Each structure stands twice: as structure tokens, then as C-alpha cells.
Structure 1
Amino acid sequence: MKLEYKILWLDDQIKDFIEDEIIQEIEEFLSKKGFKPEIITTSKSDDFFEKLDNSYDLILTDYHLNDMNGDDVIKRIRSQDYSVMTEILFYTAKADLKDTEKISRVSFLETNTLLGDHRDEVLRATLNLVDLTIKKFQTIVAMRGMIMHETSSLDVEMENVLQLLLSKSPTPDEIISTIKEKYKRSNDEFNKNIDNLEDIDTIIRIIGASHRWRAIVRNLTDDEIKSIMVNYEKEIIMIRNNFAHAVLEEDETGRTFFRHKADGIDFNEAFCIKIREDILKHKQNLDSLISRLQ
């Protein structure tokens, strides 16, 4: 799982879930958890299997389909042809599910109704299962891996933004000169090397995330994007560095979590939601910057 939470949903009456705003509620729930929701819906099994791969975090499917038996859908998902082990919610409005305990990582829901309550019960079961998959993801070790991956991707985006700023600037040499001076002041060990470098790609790469951030902020106009970028070091760079040096601890309830001892930061569930929200915010902000500069 990354910052994008992907759901693949098969139901030949999927339009009813769309019209009842069930899908919208799931998207809002995921957004509040700090994820970017992507819900792919289909009413045809052929279309479903064309879209099926291991990129999804959750699969939803009805048992009673017009063009394929529900049992066959799940068997095919788990077959060697696809080998997808994603969590599945398998639901029906009729009490006729059989041999449900024999299929791994599949949750079964019998609503025993064909009325409107059926869709509400599917919604509740879906939200519960989403919570479960997020909790599995937040066994914290995985959370640290996600943060390292996503912030490294942002580092690359920052390099791209700085390259574009330089390409658009009427005085790129002055910017490079300032970058060098700022870099020398805080990195004495590289002083003897930085003056000999003229290749812009190399300079941008070796100055580090904090110096790239400062160079970008210095060369942005005073607008909304700049005001957000001012917080980039605190919300992205410092958090990534603290997480990298945090240690795994366990409290009296058995909850495992990472704690940065020097700063006393507890990377608990609420804080991890904020981290995901901040990463998404800065991803979108950098995308807007790049679009504006291209």
C-alpha cells in the first residue's frame, strides 16, 4: 500500500451504489485517513478481469452476477492466471453463500435483504475492511517504508522543480552562485569540491534536500504555492529524518510504535494520518509548480 488506496469493484448493479453516493462516502472516508482514493467500478466480469492486478488494496464483488457465478469470480482471482491475494469483500443479499471458510483473505457478507439496506450494509462492511487493511499497513514498519519511499520521490520532484526554475530564470548563474555560497556555509567538508563543480545536475543532486528546498523557496514569487512550500522542510524533510532515526517501542497495552527519543515524537496512528496528508499536499503542490513552470 502507498498513499493511493485502490479499490476494484464488480457489481452488475454498481450504478445503484454510485447513485446512492456509497462510493463517494468511501472516498471521503479514505481521504480522512490520509489516503488518495481510487475506486474503479465495473458491471461486467470481463472488464473486471481486464483491470485486475496486484495493485489494488481491496476488491469488492457481488455473489449474484448476471454474467458469471460469484464462486467462479473468486476462484479465478486466486488462480495461477492472476494470483492476486488482495483482501476481498464478497457480498450477497441472499443467504446462500457456501464453503466460505475455505478461501483465504476473503470476507463474506450476507445482508439477507434486497432492499436499500443492502447497500448500506455493504458500505459499513467495506469501511470496516478498509480500516483493517490500513491497520495491517500501519504495523508501523511498513509505514516507515512508505514514508521513506514517498519522501524520496518528492526529493526527485524537488530536483525537477529546481531545474525548471533555473531554465526559466534570466539569471541562472546568479542562482547557482547563491546555491554554492549557501551550501559552503553549512557544509564546510565539501567546500574544496563545490567550487570545482560546474555541472548543474551534479550540483542540484549533491546539495541535499534542505538546500534544494531553500533554493526553490528563494526563487518563487510570493503566492499560495510559496506559502505552502515554506512548510516543506518541517512537514517533509524533518519528519523523514526523524522517522529514519526513530526506534520501535511497545507500550503497556502491547501497541507497537516508533518513537524519536531526542524529540519525543510518537509516530502513532493520528500522526501517521497527518504525515500522509502532508505528503499528498506537497505532492499536489509540486505537480502544480511543475505544470506552471513547463
Structure 2
Amino acid sequence: MKINYNLLWVEDNKGWYSTTKELFEDLMEDLGFKLNCKNCKTLNEVNEEIQKNNLKPYDLFLIDFTLAGSPDGDQIINLIRSNEENPILTDILFYSTDVQSVKDSMSEYGLEGVYTSHRKDVERKFELVVNTTIKKIQEVNSMRGLIMSETSDLDDLMLTIIQKLLSSEIKNSIEEYIMREIISTSEKNHSNCTSQTKEINEKIKDSRIFTTLHKAKCINKLFKEKKIGVDKFFEGYNQHIISTRNIFAHVKEVINDQGNSVLISHMTGQEEIFNEERCIAIRKKLIEYRNILESINNDVDSIIKINA
């Protein structure tokens, strides 16, 4: 489960590709996804990608049926769909100024999971197909998997930043701050927290004593110390990421009297409305905080390099 939507796009018109890609990126952003495009310009490049990964990373194939100087689109179809032992069944959207040729090839090869569009209508058709392909990840259990996976990655990213800070010019203040935080976590773990035989870099890897909350607070302190990141990072991260993760980690799914899927919290017994708008909002927040942390990570690299 992921926040990225991976598109294999076979198109040889560089200018049209760049302009249209921007429109698609805006569309995916509105749906709470980050669009990643792999652009192939020839049949050979598609074949190279097949040999590399059998096209498994991709959620959709978008293919110009009439590439200049390349074999007809039906050969591309045959290349993608011909391997019966290791079939590639990802949805395909073909576009062309001659849609009938695409439909004729589909009929000849008896293909399924293939959509067609006139080139001038490809933006509208792309949106329709994308909405179809993402429905499978709107279910509660799938969203739970996405949230757990993404928040775990964000946890690792925060830890990476903190490890770098422990080798930076603000090492002492960060280490002192970490020690105060983890000592206050629990009297039960106090001896482990303060153990002199455990280096600070080992302590911050122990999630029992250095939790996600502590990591987010450390990122918050970085802004106070060096104005790197965003103000009140912890407040926002706790509200939008940690709280959401906790909700989805401790809920059960039921269908209410209106036939809607809702989540009931094990801890509070309260109902959480679950719908497409909620999914989009969650994905947008995950992307937002990933972008913030990646930017912070790059800025920390810069200050360490300057002071090296």
C-alpha cells in the first residue's frame, strides 16, 4: 500500500507529454496521491522495462497507439499481454487520433482491461480510469495498511533527521532534550533510558522509550533552534498523523443503518465516518508531512555540510 500512483506512459512527443503530465499531477494531487511517471518513447524502452521488473510497480499504463517511427500499437499490446506464464494484467489506456484502430486491435487480440480514448479527450478519460483503479484502495482495511506503512516510513525519516542532528553543531542541546524526553516517558523504563552503557544513537532506536511523539517533538525543537522546518510541527503532526494512525490501529469496521462503512473505536466507542473524502484528506496529509520531512532532511544535510 502506498501514497504514490505509478504511471508507465509511452509517449514520444516531449512537449505534449510535459504539458499534459502537469495536468495529471494536479488531478492526482486533488485525489490525495503523488503521481510518479516513467516515460518510455519506444517499444524497445517498454521491453527494457518489462525485462527489469515485468511492469509490476505500475498502477496504470498510458500508451500512445501511434508512436512516430515505432511499430503499430497492437505490437505494444501483444508485448505487454503475451506472457502467459507471468501475465501483466494492469489496466491500459490507449489513446490515438484513430480510435477505431485501437478497438480493432483489442478485438483481434481479445484483450481485457484496456480502455481507449481519442487523443484530444485523454485528460477526461484518464480521470475516469484513475477513479476506477483507485476504488480498490478506498476500503477501510486497505486504508489502514496505507496509513500504517506511511507513518512507519515517516517515523524512519524523522529518526534519520535526528541521527544527523546528533552529529551536528546542535548535538549537545538535542541530546539533552532527548534525554529529558525519554526519561519522562516511564518510570518502568527509567533504568534503560539512563543507562550509561547505551549510546544516545542506540537509545533513539528503541521505540519503547523514544516514541513517535518524541521524534516529532525533536523535529519541533529543530525549528526552535535553527528555524528549519515549520513552526508547531509537533502540534500538526500529532493531530493529523499520529491521531489518525491511532484511530485506524484500534477500530473495527461496521456497516451502519444507512449502508455506509464506519469505524468504531475500541477505546472510545465513538463512530468514525469513513468515505472517499476522508480517504483523500488522509492521503493529502501524509503527502504534506512527507514533503515537510524530506525538505527538513535536505536542509539538515546542508547545515552539516557547511559546518563540516
Q: TM-score, normalised on structure 1?
A: 0.84
In structure 2, C-alpha distance between the alignment counterparts of 1:276 and 1:155, rounded to whole Å: 16
Distance 1:60 1:184, change over 3 A: same
Instruction: Specify which of 264, 268, 274 is matched with residue 275 of structure 2.
Output: 268
Aligned letter for 1:98? D
Asked whether the 8 Å contact 2:165–2:174 carries over to 1, the reply is no
Asked whether the 8 Å contact 1:86–1:105 carries over to 2, the reply is yes
Report the alpha carbon displacement of residue 227 of structure 1 after superposing the two structures with TM: 1.4
Asked whether the 8 Å contact 1:17–1:119 carries over to 2, the reply is no
Q: Does 1:256 align with 2:254?
A: no
Distance 1:226 1:106, change over 3 A: same
Q: Does 1:232 align with 2:237?
A: yes
Report the alpha carbon displacement of residue 238 of structure 1 after superposing the two structures with TM: 1.7
Asked whether the 8 Å contact 2:94–2:114 carries over to 1, the reply is yes
Query: Which residue of 1 is the match for residue 39 of structure 2?
Result: 41
Asked whether the 8 Å contact 1:259–1:267 carries over to 2, the reply is no
CA RMSD for the aligned pairs? Answer: 2.6
Report the alpha carbon displacement of residue 176 of structure 1 after superposing the two structures with TM: 3.1
% identical aligned pairs: 28
In structure 1, C-alpha distance between the alignment counterparts of 2:57 and 2:123, rounded to whole Å: 22
User: Which deviates the most, 254-263 or 191-200?
Assistant: 254-263
In structure 2, C-alpha distance between the alignment counterparts of 1:42 and 1:216, rounded to whole Å: 39
Asked whether the 8 Å contact 1:161–1:290 carries over to 2, the reply is yes
Aligned letter for 1:59? F
Deviations 1:244-294 (A, max 9, x none): 112222244544354446253324221221221111121121112121222
Query: Which residue of 2 is the match for residue 6 of structure 1?
Result: 6
SS at match of 2:32: coil
Aligned length: 283
In structure 1, C-alpha distance between the alignment counterparts of 2:138 and 2:81, rounded to whole Å: 25
Instruction: Specify which of 243, 246, 249 is matched with residue 244 of structure 1.
Output: 249
In structure 2, C-alpha distance between the alignment counterparts of 1:64 and 1:226, rounded to whole Å: 48
Deviations 1:14-64 (A, max 9, x none): 447437x33322111001111111223333211233234211111012333
SS at match of 2:166: helix
Q: Does 1:148 align with 2:148?
A: yes
Report the alpha carbon displacement of residue 208 of structure 1 after superposing the two structures with TM: 1.1
SS at match of 2:104: coil
Distance 1:63 1:251, change over 3 A: farther
In structure 2, C-alpha distance between the alignment counterparts of 1:82 and 1:6, rounded to whole Å: 20
SS at match of 2:61: strand
Query: Which residue of 1 is the match for residue 59 of structure 2?
Result: 57
Query: Which residue of 1 is the match for residue 138 of structure 2?
Result: 138
User: Which deviates the most, 269-278 or 47-56?
Assistant: 47-56
Asked whether the 8 Å contact 1:10–1:60 carries over to 2, the reply is yes
Structure 2 unaligned blocks of 5 or more? 302-308
User: Which deviates the most, 225-234 or 235-244?
Assistant: 225-234
Query: Which residue of 2 is the match for residue 183 of structure 1?
Result: 182
Q: TM-score, normalised on structure 2?
A: 0.81
Structure 1 unaligned blocks of 5 or more? 112-117
Distance 1:83 1:238, change over 3 A: same
Asked whether the 8 Å contact 2:93–2:126 carries over to 1, the reply is yes
In structure 2, C-alpha distance between the alignment counterparts of 1:151 and 1:276, rounded to whole Å: 11
Instruction: Specify which of 97, 104, 108 is matched with residue 112 of structure 2.
Output: 104
Distance 1:224 1:124, change over 3 A: same
